[in-house]
Amino acid sequence: MQGAEIWRISIEKYILRIPLHPTAIERLIRNMNYYAYHITNDPEINEILIALLAEAPFDTFEELETGIIAYLPADKNYEPEAEELLEELSEQFTFSWEKQFIKGENWNEIWESNFHPVVVRDFCAVRADFHAPNPDVQYELVINPKMAFGTGHHETTWMCLSALQNIPVQGQQLLDYGCGTGILAIMAAKLGAAHIEAVDIESESYLNTIENSRLNGINNVTARLGDINAVEGTQFDGILANINRHIILDSLPRLKELTKPGGWLLISGILLQDEEIVTNAAHAVGYTTQEVWNRGNWLCLLVKSEE
């Protein structure tokens, strides 16, 4: 999964939120030092600030009742860029900030000890291979995220999984664009899709999709490394795109070309405030809106290609 999803990790009374970019986990695993930017703001804008700050080299966020803490690798001279962005955002939002040096820890071990299974009603459960099976759901997915992303914890992935419960994917040819851990492709395969092409620009996502497909006994997911130009299929019955607003907007014309007439596109990684711009862009290339869901500050859209 590229850009949109954020892991939630319960650590004492806080939630450590790791944005979906493999370099973030690589840095954390290597016990690198960080600068912690303590940002005091109205918690109602936490989600928006995190999404905007993720455009800079901040790669980890912690939500508090008083605002957020944004973490910046301390060995890359990212401070000028990060602090320039903070100054720009302070003209749009009311907040204050202070900087603190933080010595590195092994956050990967902390993550594993605090990673809990995700349940989407009685439809499906997502767990790692060190969790016990859940007998109370129709489908169970075993996902070991490693340095790739998509566990169901974030609102965007949860909504996509939920939407798949009511999309008739049986026998369909699908594309998972920005596949991350392969979670959505694997769910579609379990629901009876004929074949899923799963594409991601991150090598760890590509490898993780292959591994997780094997863990779930799935043999009809083909993982590819690259951007939208790496897609080998030409016409798909449906496309899953849980990424972010910028990539979706840039890719919509090509996604429309890849969608069969009457086919569908499931979009997430979109903030509530971006619904109009994304919807208008989808309509402009020939999609019509079928369903809209929201969870927290995030949206999930199902659109259909005009016949």
Range list for CATH 3.40.50.150 in the chain: 150-305
139 Cβ partners below 8 Å, 6+ apart?
123, 124, 125, 187, 190, 191
Q: What DSSP state is assigned to residue 110?
A: H
183 Cβ partners below 8 Å, 6+ apart?
1, 126, 141, 143, 150, 151, 152, 157, 161, 212
pLDDT band, residue 29 (cuts 50/70/90)? very low
pLDDT at 14: 28
pLDDT at 1: 36
Number of Cβ within 10 Å of residue 89's Cβ equals 19
| Cβ contact 235:216 at 8 Å | no
| CA 42 centroid distance within chain | 24
The structure's pTM equals 0.69
CATH number of 6-110: 3.30.70
**CA pair distance 179, 175, nearest whole angstrom:** 9
Residue recorded with tokens 């109370």? 136
Question: What average pLDDT score do residues 96-106 get?
Answer: 79
Range list for CATH 3.30.70 in the chain: 6-110
Phi, psi (degrees; rounded to nearest 5) at 143 = -125, 120
Rounded percentage of the chain residues whose pLDDT exceeds 70: 83
58-74 pLDDT, tens digit each: 877 887 878 898 888 88
Rounded alpha-carbon distances, angstroms, from residue 180 to 4, 177, 209, 239, 262: 10, 9, 7, 15, 27
Q: Which CATH number fits domain 150-305: 2.30.38.10, 3.40.50.150, 2.102.10.10, 3.30.70.270?
A: 3.40.50.150
Instruction: Pick the closest to residue 203 from 5, 17, 25, 15 (CA basis).
Output: 25
